[in-house]
Amino acid sequence: MKIATVQATALKTRSAIVQVTTDEGVTGIGECTPMNVEVLANFVNTALRPLLVGEDPLEIDKLWNTMLFKTYKMGPHGIQPGAMAGVDIALWDILGKVTGLPIYTLLGGGYRDRIMMYCSIGGGAPLTPDEMVRKVDDALTAGFRAIKIRMDWGPYRRDQDPDKDMAMFTAVRKLVGDDIPLSFDANNGYSVSTAIKQGRKFEELNIYHFEEPVAQYDYAGIKQVVDALDVAVSAGEHEYTRWQFRDLISQANPDILQPDVVKCGGITEMRKIAVLSDTYSKDFVPHQTQPTIGTAASLHVVAAIQTANKPQEFTGVREDLNTLFKEPLEFKDGHITLPNRPGLGLEIDNDRLKEFAL
């Protein structure tokens, strides 16, 4: 079997979808990171496609290394692994379809197929505490029983309004009660001392996990925060390869690792990062903001990791995006049930894809 075509399509919905077809008529689907979907689709169609057409789609690890090292000087900290992710996920989808097995089975077998999701609610920086409370209330109404609020400060707006962040977290805790896991994502927006001070107050409010407290590149600073606090500190959405995760673990030592399957080069690399996570006894709670293919790919890996028992990131059902699929992912009572159909378990409606294309 050979790869016949590789086609990435940038969508109006800020997603880049990859379709890989074989000379035997099997099509696999994948998704790239959403950071500038036109650039990503172009990277797949111009830099990666020539490396793939005519090759055996089942030699996934070999093709992954070819993609990485033949385009290495255009990466590997963003666009390159983000584009490779779309292809890699599509290759795993093909492998599933050829063997008739879901991807979690190909990864060693699923420990769970019904996965609790937490609602990841962003854009906190410009909001008032009341505005965030309303968003969280909507998430509870949608069935979520675990929440994360994200500030989206970024390292360039360091320590801008920590008192408002604390008022927001306090108000949300009051709304959800003590039993709902509630996490806080500073999005790299604190200095080390502010992060530690805030973290101690969050701990009094029973915070579930404290995400990216300081600048993503400050591994020594992350370690200071990790050492000072009891709460689990997470990082990893800005690391892309197992080598970067090795350095993150050895230098910053966060409690929770958050690779993103649409950023870190796809399922092939994420499973290797999962092995590191397991080896160093870290919790494995991937970053994920793409509610269809990205979420499905991430959950297939999570399903096959014995210790990945924590609620997983979900930005909520997108009814518009779901219309792209013949049978979309099912979200009910705060959980997603992974389909046991071959591959990812998702099938694209090509007519809808054309309507969504940029």
8 A C-beta contact, residue 277 and residue 325: no
Shortest Å, Cβ 352 to Ca ion: 30
Residues 173-202 that bind Ca ion (CB under 5 A): 185
> CA 60, 295, 9: angle at the middle one, nearest 5?
65
Q: Toward Ca ion, which CB reaches closer, 113 or 155?
A: 155
* Count of residues in contact with Ca ion, rule CB under 5 A: 1
Kindly report whether the peptide bond that precedes residue 155 is cis, defined as omega within 30 degrees of 0.
no
Q: Toward Ca ion, which CB reaches closer, 185 or 218?
A: 185
CB-based burial, 58-71: b 16+ in 10 Å, e otherwise: eebeebbeebbeeb
Q: Toward Ca ion, which CB reaches closer, 112 or 238?
A: 238
Residues 291-330 that bind Ca ion (CB under 5 A): none
Q: Toward Ca ion, which CB reaches closer, 261 or 304?
A: 261
Shortest Å, Cβ 187 to Ca ion: 6
> Residue holding tokens 């977290």?
169
Shortest Å, Cβ 51 to Ca ion: 31
DSSP strands (E only) in 122-211: 147-150, 182-185, 209-211
Shortest Å, Cβ 45 to Ca ion: 29
> Residue holding tokens 């806080």?
184
Among residues 229, 242, 294, 249, which one has the least CA distance to residue 270? 242
Residues 202-261 that bind Ca ion (CB under 5 A): none
Among residues 23, 101, 298, 174, which one has the least CA distance to residue 93? 101
Per-residue string for binding with Ca ion, 31-50, x by CB under 5 A? Answer: --------------------
Q: Toward Ca ion, which CB reaches closer, 195 or 324?
A: 195
Shortest Å, Cβ 213 to Ca ion: 11
* Contacts with Ca ion, residue ranges (CB under 5 A): 185
